[in-house]
Amino acid sequence: MSIPNPRTVVATRYVTPLREGGSLPGLVEADDLGMYVLKFRGAGQGIKVLVAELIVGELARALGFRVPEIVLADLDPELARAEPDQEVQDLLRASGGLNLGFDYLPGSFDFNPLVRDPGPELAARLLWFDALVLNVDRSWRNPNLLLWHRDVWLIDHGAALYFHHGWSAGWKPSAEYRWDGGDHVMMPVAGSVADADAELKPLVTRDLLGDVLAVVPDAWLVQDGMTPADIRAAYVAYFESRLASSPRWVETLEAARAARV
Ligand SMILES: Nc1ncnc2c1ncn2[C@@H]1O[C@H](COP(=O)(O)OP(=O)(O)OP(=O)(O)O)[C@@H](O)[C@H]1O
Ligand SMILES: [Mg+2]
């Protein structure tokens, strides 16, 4: 199964900033008349945040989670001229070229598993997935899940794969990564994480990882003295190492689940 390349759209109008959002996401209209939540390359957290969004979003989709369509959004910094707000002007000026867009889900709202039970299987699969990708942004305080048309949609994966902020040529994955599922939004309602592991781990093949990494633009994979091929290989090495150690981290999650009140 190969993953289609993201569509490229051209941003035509900055509509509004989104209320929350440490990464200054904004709602933008594009030349296909679609509305997208844009994560701007000039937002100050660097291109790796967009890379994490793209890799983790497409991997999640390939594993059966619902994720808004992800597009590459070409932005002309001249759009800044139409903006009265200085902060928005600066953001647009710094974001010329390709940015990342997410199909805007109108009428969606923040998902709360205590209000609407997602079911123990989905909850356990999401807990497993976030442990796999080291996503630290799915706490009950800030779940980064949207409820839309009665389904749970995953957003905001820029903080995952955090190890890439510290890598350089010759990097090797660690045997262990710190990831605490204690305040994960699904911990109180998750079913068996061991079952989720048995179901999902076989799906994360080297082929799938190669397909996911192929959708990341080469221009986003030139960092820290590494080539795009080096960087793709480093992500694959990370995933293979993390999957190989899943018996240990799944056991930790199962212990946390058994201890919950
Ligand atoms: N595809 C979407 N459709 C509708 N609303 C969205 C979508 N993506 C994001 N939002 C809204 O915008 C908010 C901010 O988006 P997101 O969480 O991706 O940005 P962020 O800057 O990483 O946020 P934070 O730092 O607050 O977690 C979300 O909490 C949600 O309310
Ligand atoms: Mg968020």
Read off the pLDDT of residues 202-233 as tens digits, 9 standing for 90 and up: 999 999 999 999 999 999 999 889 999 999 99
The span from the CA of 48 to the CA of 98, in Å, is: 13
**81-135: pLDDT as tens digits:** 999 999 999 999 999 999 999 999 999 999 988 788 999 999 999 999 999 999 9
Q: Cα–Cα distance between 1 and 131 in angstroms, integer?
A: 24
Share of the chain above pLDDT 90, in %: 91
Is 99 close to ligand 1, i.e. is its CB under 6 Å away?
no
Q: Is residue 105 within 6 Å of ligand 1 at its C-beta? A: yes
- Inter-residue contact 120 to 190 (CB < 8 Å): yes
Nearest-CA residue for ligand 1 atom 14 is: 21
Confidence of residue 236 (pLDDT cuts 50, 70, 90): very high
Q: How far apart are CA 152 and CA 179, in angstroms?
A: 23
Residues 6+ apart with CB under 8 A from 1: 62, 208, 211
Structure tokens at 119: 């079911």
Residue nearest to atom 26 of ligand 1 (CA): 21
* DSSP 3-state of 249: helix
List phi, psi (to 5°) of 93: -65, -30
Residue whose Cα lies nearest atom 1 of ligand 1: it is 104
